[in-house]
Structure 1
Amino acid sequence: MSTRPRLVLIDGSSYLFRAFHALPPLTNAAGEPTGALFGVVNMLRSTLKEKPTYAAFVGDAPGPTFRDALYPAYKANRPPAPAELKAQVQPMYDIVGALGFPILCVPGVEADDVIGTLARQAEQLGIDVVISTGDKDFAQLVSPGIHLINTMTGTLTDVDGVVAKFGVPPERIVDFLALTGDAIDNVPGVEKCGPKTAARWIAEYGSLDGVIAGADGVGGKIGENLRKALAQLPLSRELVTIKTDVALEQGPQGLLLRDRDVEALRALYRRYEFNAALKELDALPATAEAAGASRLAADPPEAAAAPGDYELVLDPARLEHWLQQLREAPLIAFDTETTSIDPMRADIVGLSFAVEPGRAAYVPLGHDYPGAPVQLDRTTVLAALRPLLEDAGRPKLGQHAKYDINVLAGAGIAVRGVTEDTMLESYVLNSTASRHDMDTLAKRHLGYTTIHYEDVAGKGAKQIPFSQVDLETATRYAAEDADITLRLHQALRPRLAADAKLDAVYRDIEMPLVPVLARMEQCGVLIDVPALRLQSQQLARRMQELTGQAHDLAGHVFSLDSPKQLQAVLFDELKLAAVFKTPTGQPSTNEEALEAIAHEHDLPRLILEYRGLAKLRSTYTEKLAEIVNPRTGRVHTSYHQATAATGRLSSADPNLQNIPVRTEEGRRIRQAFIAPEGWRIVAADYSQIELRIMAHLSGDAGLLAAFHGNQDIHRATAAEVFAVPLGDVDAGQRRAAKAINFGLMYGMGPFGLARQLGIGRGEAQDYIARYFQRYPGVREFMDRIREQAHRDGYVETVFGRRLYLDYINARNQAQRAGAERAAINAPMQGTAADIIKRAMIAVDTWLTGREDHARMLMQVHDELVFEVRADAVEEIAEGVRQHMAAAAQLDVPLLVEVGSGTNWDQAH
């Protein structure tokens, strides 16, 4: 098998039956039967030692299956299970669950069908599959990426093994089984047709269909038997065919092993007297128990979960030793310890490095607790490291390396050559699988429990600065960061390299974006603090006015900020309808709930306005003035690459994404983002980029023509939907068309459209129906993307970024519908994210050497914001427009609108 991630699918029912008949009738001291259980437990323990990436224990659900409906005599010959076997079924599931295996039993189908579906899904995802079974039927699934293993005999079966055993390739096993029949399952075949005859016929006639067509040419008694069986052979083939399209609640990548329940296992092993298993369990190290004994690792190296050897560097000789190690290393893993999580305010306390798994060093520079040992001179160490860190030709690795790049920039070191980042490796592999912080990734992929910051610095009010952590403890914590980063890279990078599309997203988009974002964050943006303070006062006065109006409407004083008091006023006193409920069953007062009843009374709309102003005041007009950096006099946001599932960037402290652009108050906040004297703010925004991506992906002729004709797409849609000439479209029709255009991208149905436009549901349904009549390619795209999502468990952007949809095959209708809406929107939103990231990289490259003319400041959704010298505005604006328009080659042109002014609002 390859080094790719591996899924092990265990045919639970098969193993229980085989172990029951193969092993002696063992019992425990209480007289309970344990023989079959003993065999299954040993098999499971062997499986865990192989450290699969994913695994599942699949059993047969009680009740009939679709095969019983096809053929009532199916499995009719099987005698009832012996009582001794039945008694071991539930204990088996108890142990399987305690070991951490996901257990699947799907009604209406057999375990074989569940396994077949998962195997094919995993194959499509580039995951190697091992089916643990002794059942010959599974030979039909074998492929280069799907193998069978019989853990009772140790036999591994690949494609060649199937041919050697059956005389036919895997794709002809179904034909083979239909001809030979199956006495155990009571599947009729051709009487007296054994394996050799079936293989000979298939070799001669090519397939079962060929055998049926040539049946008249087969002589002798066996030929007569064949002709007698012709009518039922198609049924036999259907009965032995393993389904590979079963609707499942989770795909292969949801089948992660959980941490084993050690106490439950200990009790079960003692009860059934499995002494070897109990001894093995009691020998587990504590860290391995807590982390599931590395079972989640993607074939990690042997030492993946082993403790590291970490060195505290306090003298020049040892520093020089490590500098030489760094000079010779093919890849340097590095990390900084600092005084703050804000990189623009942080000072360096120490640095750690690793060049091979299991070995790392910590160089302290600023530990200042009483009695702290003398540390190396800060200036000397940084000067020695600068040539290595600034060498673009020396590859470097980090976990969220942008933070460390910014911290070192504050110390005068311009880090170059960061070619790998484990946070981004994890994010690109699966943005929704888990968090992408080091602690989570180490546990998930290495089975390693890291030392947490709180473990060394304390919690809450008692937490001490890292500079006061003793050096021995600090070394274990800090050096581990560099070491685990390197180990994670060795576990994750091969998985990315195995998938060309994902590797390109990582290599060509995410990693080149890291230094671009770092430069933007370091630059920051200038804020007009007096203007913000004035606006904050005005917002406070308006909120007071709204509070008074709310009290008048209610007839008494109450707190607008108290959901409980608001519930009482709206639903108990005013008797308004409670459209939405909280998880505890109380009437909801969230934004959606208030919008739903805003037409019934003035108070809900007033509360919404009050909340909007309160949020602007607390988030922006008050906070922005407080977070101006004293070193730079600017506000520095932090951009997060590994947060949004679709690939969108997000920002924090401050969050620039949520400043409203359509309200007067929001525009006034944007007016406070200003250019220095002699400079201008330039804003460049993609026009209707997601609709253009929809046109590209759907290939709809109407949409393509509208964009190529540079038409107002909403007006063009209105003309189509309402069957009026383009020049006769009124404002209401355009508004409705705009709601349809954007609503359909987000999976909006008639109910949502009706509520948004204030029309009846039937009328909204008519609008949508007419839209799809006029733009049939859009409906075909939506149907196609839903089908792909259900089949593959994920959708992709134009550039190959992948979004997994955990609930796309969920039984819960609401969860499934939500996943389908995400499936439709994600390719457009994700492609838009990829395009603007590519644009940022291209524009940043173009601006290299022009830093005295322009600086990229901000990215907000589909907009880039720059600070440009006043005499260079025209040149820079045109260059930015060209590079943004060329960031993707779609079937429609990318339109970029550019504006400029003394502040952001003027430029936008």
Structure 2
Amino acid sequence: MPKLILIDGSSYLYRAFHALPPLSNARGEPTGALFGVVNMLRATLKANPDYLAFVSDAPGPTFRDALYDRYKANRPPMPDDLRAQVEPMLAIVGALGFPILRVPGVEADDVIGTLALQAQALGIEVEVSTGDKDMAQLVGSHVTLVNTMSNTVMDRDGVMEKFGVTPQQIIDFLALTGDAIDNIPGVPKCGPKTAAKWLAEYATLDGVIANADRIGGKIGESLRATLPQLPLSRQLATIKVDVPLEFGPTELTRREADSTLLRELYTRYEFKAALKELDNAAPASGEGDDTSAAATTEGIATEVAPAEAADFSFAGEYELVTTPAQLDAWIGKLREAPLIAFDTETTSLDAMRADIVGLSLSVEPGKACYIPLGHDYPGVPKQLDRDSVLAALKPLFEDPARPKLGQHAKYDINILSHYGIAVQGLRHDSMLESYVWNATATRHDMDSLAKKYLGYDTVKYEQVAGKGAKQISFSQVDLDTACRYAAEDADVTLRLHHALWPKLESVPSLRRVYEEIEIPLVPVLAEMERRGVLIDGDELRRQSQQLGRRMLELQQQSYALAGREFNLDSPKQLQAVLFDELHLEAKLKTPTGQPSTNEEALEAIADTHELPRLILDYRGLAKLRSTYTDKLSGIVNPRTGRVHTSYHQGSVATGRISSSDPNLQNIPVRTEEGRRIRQAFIAPPGWQVMAADYSQIELRIMAHLSGDEGLLKAFREGGDVHRATAAEVFGLKPEEVSANQRRAAKAINFGLMYGMSAFGLARQLGVDRGEASDYMARYFARYPGVHAFMEATRERAHRDGYVETIFGRRLYLENLTSRNQGLRQGAERAAVNAPMQGSAADIIKRAMIAVAAWLAGRDDAHMLMQVHDELVFEVRADAIDAVRAAVVERMSGAAELAVPLLVDVGVGANWDEAH
């Protein structure tokens, strides 16, 4: 599996500071913590991970501060010697080529948690480098914690050994014990052993609360006295795993190291070993080792280079607009401008909850204005009336003939919609220009783009609003400082467009993807976000109770199979039952040599005894309860009474849309309990939910791209394609194909798209490797076009450094030339899969644009959600037939393939009934 290493930057720095002596250089500058961090980073690079990131806390308050004003109030201020090493640390991290992630409003833990779960869902192994015990809640089958100071690895068994609870119980464990460092109130006198004992007996915090009257002594009194605050403690201790991010795990690749800057920094801080390593790594003849930064960006270097770009790194001139005359003058400029760049300043990153503070505009690179509308600090100078300004600008914003430009414009469009402005004429978005040009070259936020494409360092938020506890909201920033920061946003957006648009124009296929798919999709997604979806909170609460009862039943069944009671969440007790008492064969071991009881290990023995399957079912229900049924009703927007997700166009390299807060892509559908969660997604009275889903779209794209006559015939005849494939592979009539033969054909059909090997197929089918190899050989013999397509795609990828979708979207593949066989084979598998996954993403985007155009002006149907290859609608009951026909027509017509593009449609009172 590919690996992602997420480095907890704050943890690194503090641990190094306290673990190492107070070193300093000849200038007297403190270097102890810096020295420790640099050594850890160098060790990380030697591990040669596929993806990596250095995650640090952004300055300013987080959502937890809003929940509890005493959060982290006990923390002493950062020592001066440590503070002095923060900026040098970030400089070295950046120079080494690490992506640096700092997301305002949340903590580094939340960013790490979000990326870890996203990566795990993509089949990426995740290693979180930290010493923070809170991170134990993230540990899973493919997520481990690594403490580089003690050189220890913590998996699920390690969590149980250290804390006496499972990773799923860590949040409740922390809520009970509290956290003196973060000032999370727990139960006084409740230490780790007591918390573990309670959770072993009652499973969850809710179970402890429900049985509080049964706990005696002083500790019981203490527990009962603090019951009201425990839900808050749990909320504070919970790592947020659905932070809206404009990037995904696969974008976190190492950039080319800045050797000149590294040499300067290493020399200044007297890191002799690092300096020697840098000098020894310098290539002698223009060819570096494949583990160098140059090699990891080799694919990106093959992108088409347009003519030499103009210099956009100069300082800008910005005007603060506070008088009617100034506003009139700018309105005159806007009326004559060929392109209007705009940006909003607000009170929140959540577009559905934010209020506008100011508006910035630019029509010429290097010149921009800021119109303050909601600054509220004492003694603030007179500002123009907000409603009057927006009313004056409304005709310009709503004029489709006046081209507009934004950076992540969907957010600003939604903000202005709160004030009755329906933005029309969005022609460009600098974030999407970068994303379409090269999705993997960089992050697509403004700061990263300005640095990469303009050579320009933007003003950072903390520079104008302060840091840490002293940070103020933007509405309290003085107008002159606010102007410098906000007007720059509009100016830099326009500069980025002038730098990026010529690149797209130089490649007609990319320009078409940008102009015909990505830009038209922005207002479609914006409207879907504003609409939101109804949630039945009572249904979710009932499901939580039912899941609890089912978990109890599984416990009792497990006790009966084991012949005694034991703690299902205890690896040690489970080891004893499975391997010592039932004498099952341990297929996997822990790092300490003990029989493993993680998910992979239990799956490996689930066919030998009923108990491992029961344990897996129990864990699955526990995850559903904690992740979905207990949480979804808590994120309903109080303004609308609905749940509003955020859709991201620029986060997945293949072009797929992702969603967050909540992540609708990960709502389970393969189990009965998982599907029931969709029953809580409902329609209002008189309306119904309609779901339209492409049928086997990626396999149909494979048939189209490969041109294989056998596969084309199977789809054109409209029968069961897996049965038809099995008949070809095994030389049978379709009616003679057995269930196992059809299952094998299905596994091959889908597995080939993801580069499945004979070993993987053997494991999935439960046959030996030789039999699986024989299946695959027969498949390729009957479908030679598929094999030829796969080989040709690999060759083109090696030649060009990228692959393309049907519509011309490119995916650059960084490790195609790596000498590391695992990395190279992974890139080749991605090369085969990306054209199909990316084409499927393009097709559903084109369908959304066409459907939205048909829905425009109608009040009897609304597009609510996009989930992989599925679109979900809210339709008035009397319009179902008309909407179904229109949606099927537009989804089927979103691409012209060599095989029919079929769409399955369902209708019901909720999403589950409709799916």
Q: TM-score range by the shorter chain?
A: 0.5 to 0.7
Letter in 2 for 1:888: A
Which of 868, 871, 879 pairs up with 1:864?
Answer: 871
Distance 1:810 1:263, change over 3 A: closer
1:331 corresponds to which residue? 339
Aligned to 2:415: 407
Decide which moves more: 795-804 or 658-667. Answer: 658-667
Look up the match of 1:515. 523
Per-residue deviation, 1:326: 1.8
Superposed counterparts of 1:689-728, under 5 Å: 689-728=697-736
Candidates 662, 671, 684, aligned match of 2:679: 671
Q: CA 1:563–1:652 in structure 2 vs 1: closer, same or farther (change >3 Å)?
A: farther
Partner of 1:258: 258
Aligned: 1:894 with 2:901: yes
Task: Give how far 1:258 is off.
Answer: 3.0
* 3-state SS in 2 of match to 1:322: helix
Render the CA deviation track for 1:841-894: whole Å, top value 9, x for unaligned: 111112223x21211111111111111111111111011111111111111111
- Report whether the alignment pairs 1:759 with 2:767: yes
Q: What is the CA-CA distance between 1:546 and the residue it aligns to?
A: 4.7
Question: What aligned pairs does 1:240-279 form with structure 2 within 5 A after superposition?
Answer: 258=258, 260-261=260-261, 264=264
Map of 1:803 onto structure 2 = 811
Q: CA deviation at 1:687?
A: 0.7
Aligned to 2:668: 660
- Which of 367, 392, 395 pairs up with 1:387? 395
Is the alpha carbon distance of 1:470 and 1:545 closer, same or farther for their aligned partners in structure 2, counting shifts above 3 Å? farther
1:744 aligns with: 752
Partner in structure 1 of residue 373 of structure 2: 365
Residue 360 to residue 893, structure 1, CA distance change in 2 (3 Å): same
Say whether the 8 Å CA contact 1:567–1:588 is kept in structure 2.
Answer: yes
Q: Report what 2:295 is aligned to.
A: none
1:349 maps to 2:349: no
Give the distance between the partners of 2:382 and 2:572, measured in 1 at CA. Answer: 58
Cα displacement string for residues 749-777 of structure 1 (whole angstroms, at most 9, x for unaligned residues): 11111111111111111111111111111
Say which of 426, 431, 438 aligns to 1:430: 438
- Displacement of 1:613 in angstroms is 2.5
- Mean CA deviation greater in 367-376 or 712-721: 367-376
SS at match of 1:260: helix
Distance 2:308 2:670 in 1: 51
Q: Do the aligned partners of residues 511 and 569 (structure 1) sit closer, same or farther apart at CA in structure 2, a change above 3 Å counting?
A: farther
How far residue 375 of structure 1 moved from its aligned partner, in angstroms, is 1.8
Mapping of 1:224-243 within 5 angstroms? none
1:553-702 mapped onto 2 (5 Å cutoff): 560=569, 577=586, 579=588, 591-592=599-600, 594-599=602-607, 605-702=613-710
Contact kept? 1:551, 1:558, Cα under 8 Å = no
Equivalent-residue separation in structure 2 for 1:98 and 1:453 (angstroms): 20
| Aligned CA distance change for structure 1 residues 617 and 411 (closer, same or farther; 3 Å) | farther
Q: CA deviation at 1:537?
A: 2.1
Distance in 1 (alpha carbons) for counterparts of 2:94 and 2:849: 47
Q: 2:86 matched to which residue of 1?
A: none
1:533 to partner: Cα distance: 1.4
Map 1:2-41 to 2 at 5 A.
Answer: none
Contact 1:369 1:469 in 2 (8 A): yes
Q: Shift of residue 543 of structure 1? A: 3.8
1:606 is displaced (CA, Å) by 4.1
Distance 1:626 1:390 in 2: 35
Percent identity at matched positions? 68
My pick for the range that moved more, 526-535 or 618-627, is: 618-627
Contact 2:408 2:430 (C-alpha < 8 Å) held by counterparts: yes
Change (3 A) 1:603 1:368: farther
Question: Is the 1:579–1:597 contact (alpha carbons within 8 Å) kept by the matching residues of 2?
Answer: no
Question: 2:664 is paired with a residue of what secondary structure?
Answer: coil
- SS state of the match for residue 665, structure 2? coil
**Superposed displacement of residue 490, structure 1:** 1.1
Compute the displacement of 1:321 (Å): 2.1
* More off after superposition, 852-861 vs 562-571: 562-571
- Cα distance change on mapping 1:470 and 1:556 into 2, 3 Å: farther
Whole-Å Cα distance in 2 between the matches of residues 652 and 861 of structure 1? 14
**Residues 542-594 of structure 1, C-alpha deviation per residue, up to 9 Å, x if partnerless?**
3455567778859786683x889989998999896464878x99998765455
Change (3 A) 1:548 1:479: farther
Taking a change above 3 Å as real, the CA distance of residues 344 and 810 of structure 1, as seen in their structure-2 partners, is same
- Deviates most, 450-459 or 364-373: 450-459
SS at 2:510 equivalent: helix
| Cα contact 1:656–1:860 (8 A) shared by 2 | yes
Radius of gyration: which is bigger? 1
Deviation at 1:262, TM superposition (A): 6.4
Instruction: Give the alignment of 1:86-485 within 5 angstroms.
Output: 258=258, 260-261=260-261, 264=264, 304-459=312-467, 463-485=471-493
1:618 and 1:471, CA in 2 relative to 1: closer, same or farther beyond 3 A? farther
- Between the aligned partners of 1:323 and 1:590, the Cα distance in structure 2 is 63
Letter aligned with residue 862 of structure 1: D
Tell me the amino acid that sits aligned with residue 889 of structure 1: E
Of the candidates 833, 840, 858, which is equivalent to residue 825 of structure 1?
833
What's the CA shift for 1:605?
Answer: 3.7
> What's the offset of the Cα at 1:674?
1.2
Residues 504-549 of structure 1, C-alpha deviations (whole Å, 9 max, x = no match): 1001110111111111111111111211111122223334555677
**Distance in 1 between residues matched to 2:308 and 2:372, nearest whole Å:** 30
Q: 1:789–1:795: 8 Å Cα contact kept in structure 2? A: yes
Evaluate the alpha carbon distance shift between residue 380 and residue 688 of structure 1 in structure 2; reply closer, same or farther with a 3 A threshold.
same
Distance change in 2, residues 1:311/1:901 (3 Å): same
Residue in structure 1 matched with residue 802 of structure 2 by the alignment: 794
Q: Which residue of 2 is the match for residue 877 of structure 1?
A: 884
- Contact 2:906/2:914 (CA < 8 Å) preserved in 1? yes
Residues 699 and 777, structure 1, Cα contact 8 Å, conserved in 2: yes
**Amino acid in structure 2 at the alignment position of 1:528:** D
Distance 1:266 1:594, change over 3 A: closer
Count residues in correspondence.
Answer: 634
The CA distance in 2 between the partners of 1:566 and 1:451, in whole Å, is 55
Instruction: Flag structure 1 segments of 5+ consecutive residues without an equivalent.
Output: 1-96, 103-252, 271-294
Corresponding residue of 2:144: none
Query: Judging changes above 3 Å, is the alpha-carbon distance between structure 1 residues 550 and 342 closer, same or farther for their aligned structure 2 residues?
Result: farther
Contact in 1 for aligned 2:310/2:499 (Cα 8 Å): no
- The SS at the match of 2:839 is helix
TM-score, normalising length: structure 2: 0.65
Residue 535 of structure 1 corresponds to which residue in structure 2? 543
* Residues 586 and 596, structure 2, Cα contact 8 Å, conserved in 1: no
**Kindly tell me: are residues 554 and 638 of structure 1, through their superposed partners in 2, closer, same or farther at Cα, counting changes over 3 Å?**
farther
Match of 1:6 in 2: none
1:657 aligns to what SS in structure 2? helix
Q: How far apart are 1:471 and its partner, in Å? A: 2.4
Displacement of 1:432 after TM fit?
A: 1.5
Aligned equivalent of 1:501: 509
Structure 1 position 601, deviation (Å):
5.9
Q: Deviations over 1:297-322 (max 9, x none)?
A: 98786652233222222222222222
Change (3 A) 1:628 1:461: farther
Query: Tell me, which stretches of 5 or more residues in structure 2 are unaligned?
Result: 1-91, 98-252, 271-300
